[in-house]
Structure 1
Amino acid sequence: MTKNDPYEALRYKEFNFFLLLRFAMVFAWAMQFVIIEWEVYRLTKDPLSLGIIGLMEIIPAIGMALFAGHIVDQSEKKRLLFKCILGFSIVSLGLFLITVPSINKNLELHSILYIIYALVFAGGLVRAFISPTIFSLLSLIVPKKAYANASTWSSSVWQMGAMLGPGLAGFSISLIGVHWSMCVVFAFSVFSLLFLTKIESKPILNPKIGEPIMQSLKEGVKFVFQNKTILGAISLDMIAVLFGGAMALLPIFAQDILKVGSEGFGVLRAAPAVGSFITMVLSAYIPLNKKAGIKLLSAIFLFGVCIIVFGLSKWFWVSVIAMFFSGIFDGVSVVIRNTILQLHTPDNMRGRVASVNSIFVGSSNELGAFESGLTAKIMGTVPAVVFGGTMTLITVTFTGFISPSFRNLDLAKDVEALKNSH
């Protein structure tokens, strides 16, 4: 058996710049979303307004996802990623300007909200392209034998950005206000552009350049639905994220239930990312490939338990601990799912497969935010969170019962075969 090298992917120079780029983008995106959540709820005091934020991002993200996957597979990845980051920078600049006090005070509340929602919608368009582009670029930077290790490090950096972005957002709102916090977001988007210049342009590994778009989209969707391993992993994660969307309601918990202010909001928002980051770093040293199916099912089940505990908690530090452990179990899920995608996706279909994944999993974050906001409006905040966690438990139990092949999934042999083939 090949000895595990936890630093295998880090030995490739461009991959390190890729990690810096990804961190800067995730940090900026996570920080921006938290700032928007805080500001919109401060202005409206309406949980449904938080759900609308998610809805405004999910509509373009889902609507453009398959088309974006086709474009990614037909395009040079570095150039396309540059356009994506530039688009995000423009959105961030717009949010920075709309929060300028002299501009803000001269606009009516509904005008401010409409502008924010419009910019979030534009960000959703960018997101439809950026996720499959980054997924595809990763496979061109490191050789196939390092895919599993590179996927783990990439996921770890993603979680580091998701951890530090919300944490800094909570404190920066308190220290420098919403307006200058958005300036920090814009600065990090510029940093990501600088890191991108350190990566060389890559060849387009698609033998069907110029393929009709409908045929291309059909092939991508068909591949995912015929690959039971990929379909099972992303479907299960989608349900967990959809019904476990307590994150969208954190401004309500911080301001009205736990009463801990913007600093406590930042801690709550960062807690799951801290847990997930710890899991991902450890997984580079202790791979999760063996008995991956049962580990994935168990992790999502325990994630649901943590969501229920968080919903019922009246004490700040119990809530923080519940969020922390939800991140630990979510980290296991993310590492296993990303490894499955990297190992089971052909090079010429990475953009389309990543786009289908973004529809199932990535966009379910926003759909989950809308579901949480809507159910909180109907049944109350705490019952909505408990309901979501309970639905997660039911879904995982049902999936494990009806799908023994997924329950017995083992990725260790796939990883070993790939290493031995080089």
Structure 2
Amino acid sequence: MFRSLGVFNYRVWFLGALISNVGAWMQSTAQDWVVLTELTDHDATAVGITMACQFGPPLVLVGVTGWVADRFDRRTLLFLTQGSLGILSVAIGVLLLTDVLTLPLMLVLATLFGVANAFDAPARQAFVSDIVGRAHTSNAVALNSASFNMARLIGPAVGSVLLIVVGSGWVFIVNAATFAAMLAALAAMRTGELEPRVRPRRGSGRLADGARYVWGRPDLVVTFTMAFLMGAFGMNFPIFASTMAVEFGRDADGYGLLSSALAIGSLAGALLAARRDRARLRVVMLASGGFGVVSIVSAAMPAYLGYALVCVAIGFCTVTMLTTANGFVQTTTDPALRGRVLALYLAVIMGSTPIGAPLVGAIADAWGPRSAIVVGGAAGLVAAAIGAVWLIWSGRLHRAERARFRLTIDETRPITVAMPTIDPGPADPAPGARA
């Protein structure tokens, strides 16, 4: 389960990411609560629009960000993006402390966060392979998810307490300080132990190559489709948790507890994914279906504690789906195209939010948060149905020879890949060197 931690650089990365992720979850809790209760009068649509501003840039900039992640040194790029995100956190904190932050200004800053994250996310995801090598990538991705969700257990709870004790502005200031942990981890890495990267020669790394590669891989198309449905309509947890907390008459502490309940299940899902030897598409399908079922069940919960308990199952299914899909994309993609393919994948996950979040927020305002949750659950069921149809159509699903009524999935069946013509060029002369 923890084999990637045997690599020194990954141990340093894991610790830095854990501290930084705690701050990120603190800020996420504060941001949604500020928009819902301080900048508006419990306007869930405004929360959805803020999410759209924050997650829209990865969709708009997908071609450029993927190309940058493949072309330039990812460690240097992460120094720049992580530093920029820290500065933006300080800016929001100061504006809140001086009582001059308005909703339009928050939307502008959320958009700038989105731009920085658009460049940070594909570089950060692809950098995992540079740290541990392809053999351990699936395990390292799962442990990254575990780190993210351990922070999710701590961050919302701490953020909720700080919201009450010191106010929202200081939550953003504290988050800015946690970025120093990631910058320190990047600085402490042994650059000579990073994996050499294969990059296209100058002039051959076309932005469209990643999209053409994905289009020639039916399994990736199905994975991206399921991720889009889940990202657009299912994973709007800030809207679901904040509006359900209000529905049950709870304050910021109640909202933080719901986020922590999601994190408990998410952590369990991430650790279970780390135990698997490789990422499989059937797990993505089953987790999507499970998410749909438990989401619809949660919408019917009459009491706050009952809803919080079902949130544990929601978190488990969500992270199982996301971690497995991420590992599948990383481990089955051509190394020379990994940055661009991951940029497309992350654009689908994060960029689908501007499409779904405002709609889900409007549904919550018009018909209540329970109706919005049902819409998200239905999206998970549709995603699972798409995966099941592809497994049948591709010939991977068939009846077992010995058990008459048992169905099995042939994971070894080859997939026809239409790859673009790429000259991979030489490997990096020095893994830690600047491109």
What TM-score, normalized by structure 1, do the two folds share?
0.87
What residue number does 1:90 align with?
A: 87
Contact 2:146/2:270 (<8 A) preserved: yes
What residue number does 2:274 align with?
A: 284
- Which of 355, 358, 362 aligns to 2:346? It is 358
Contact 1:72/1:351 (<8 A) preserved: yes
What residue number does 1:196 align with?
A: 186
**What is the CA distance between 1:328 and its match in structure 2?**
1.0
Q: Does 1:210 align with 2:202?
A: yes
RMSD: 2.4
The farther-off stretch of 328-337 and 391-400 is 391-400
Change (3 A) 1:366 1:322: farther
The farther-off stretch of 39-48 and 120-129 is 39-48
What SS does structure 2 have at the residue aligned with 1:216?
coil
**What is the CA distance between 1:311 and its match in structure 2?**
2.2
Once residues 218 and 194 of structure 1 are traced to their aligned partners in structure 2, the CA distance between those partners, rounded to angstroms, is 35
Contact 2:71/2:199 (<8 A) preserved: no
What SS does structure 1 have at the residue aligned with 2:161?
helix
What residue number does 1:380 align with?
A: 368
Q: Does 1:29 align with 2:20?
A: no
Contact 2:141/2:323 (<8 A) preserved: yes
* Identity among equivalent pairs (%): 20
What TM-score, normalized by structure 2, do the two folds share?
0.85
What SS does structure 2 have at the residue aligned with 1:370?
helix
Q: Which amino acid aligns with 1:251?
A: S
What residue number does 1:401 align with?
A: 389
What SS does structure 2 have at the residue aligned with 1:410?
coil
Q: Does 1:157 align with 2:147?
A: yes
Q: Which amino acid aligns with 2:203?
A: E
What SS does structure 2 have at the residue aligned with 1:369?
helix
- Which of 242, 248, 251 aligns to 2:238? It is 248
**What is the CA distance between 1:344 and its match in structure 2?**
0.8
What residue number does 1:347 align with?
A: 335
**Unaligned runs of at least 5 residues, structure 2:** 398-408, 416-435
**Unaligned runs of at least 5 residues, structure 1:** 1-5, 415-422
What residue number does 2:53 align with?
A: 56
Contact 1:85/1:192 (<8 A) preserved: yes
What residue number does 1:117 align with?
A: 107
What residue number does 1:266 align with?
A: 256
Structure-to-structure mapping, 1:331-346, within 5 angstroms: 331-346=319-334
Once residues 302 and 196 of structure 1 are traced to their aligned partners in structure 2, the CA distance between those partners, rounded to angstroms, is 37
Structure with higher helix content? 1
Q: Does 1:99 align with 2:96?
A: yes
Q: Does 1:220 align with 2:213?
A: no
Contact 1:245/1:368 (<8 A) preserved: no
Once the two structures are superposed, what CA deviation does each residue of 1:38-76 show, in whole Å capped at 9, x if it has no partner? Answer: 011102121111111111112322111221110111101
**What is the CA distance between 1:385 and its match in structure 2?**
1.7
Once residues 70 and 11 of structure 1 are traced to their aligned partners in structure 2, the CA distance between those partners, rounded to angstroms, is 31
Once residues 181 and 413 of structure 2 are traced to their aligned partners in structure 1, the CA distance between those partners, rounded to angstroms, is 37
What residue number does 1:74 align with?
A: 71
**What is the CA distance between 1:169 and its match in structure 2?**
1.7
Q: Which amino acid aligns with 1:195?
A: A
Once residues 153 and 50 of structure 1 are traced to their aligned partners in structure 2, the CA distance between those partners, rounded to angstroms, is 30
Q: Which amino acid aligns with 1:244?
A: G
Once the two structures are superposed, what CA deviation does each residue of 1:305-337 show, in whole Å capped at 9, x if it has no partner? Answer: 221122222311111111110111122212321
What residue number does 1:410 align with?
A: 411
Change (3 A) 1:137 1:391: closer
Change (3 A) 1:26 1:244: same
**What is the CA distance between 1:300 and its match in structure 2?**
0.9
What residue number does 2:9 align with?
A: 14
Once the two structures are superposed, what CA deviation does each residue of 1:364-421 show, in whole Å capped at 9, x if it has no partner? Answer: 345433231122234332212212212322342244135423763638999xxxxxxx
What residue number does 2:424 align with?
A: none
Contact 1:272/1:328 (<8 A) preserved: yes
Contact 1:76/1:203 (<8 A) preserved: no
Once residues 196 and 344 of structure 1 are traced to their aligned partners in structure 2, the CA distance between those partners, rounded to angstroms, is 26
**What is the CA distance between 1:204 and its match in structure 2?**
6.8
Once residues 216 and 204 of structure 1 are traced to their aligned partners in structure 2, the CA distance between those partners, rounded to angstroms, is 21
Contact 2:56/2:354 (<8 A) preserved: no
Contact 1:54/1:366 (<8 A) preserved: yes
Once residues 319 and 23 of structure 1 are traced to their aligned partners in structure 2, the CA distance between those partners, rounded to angstroms, is 27
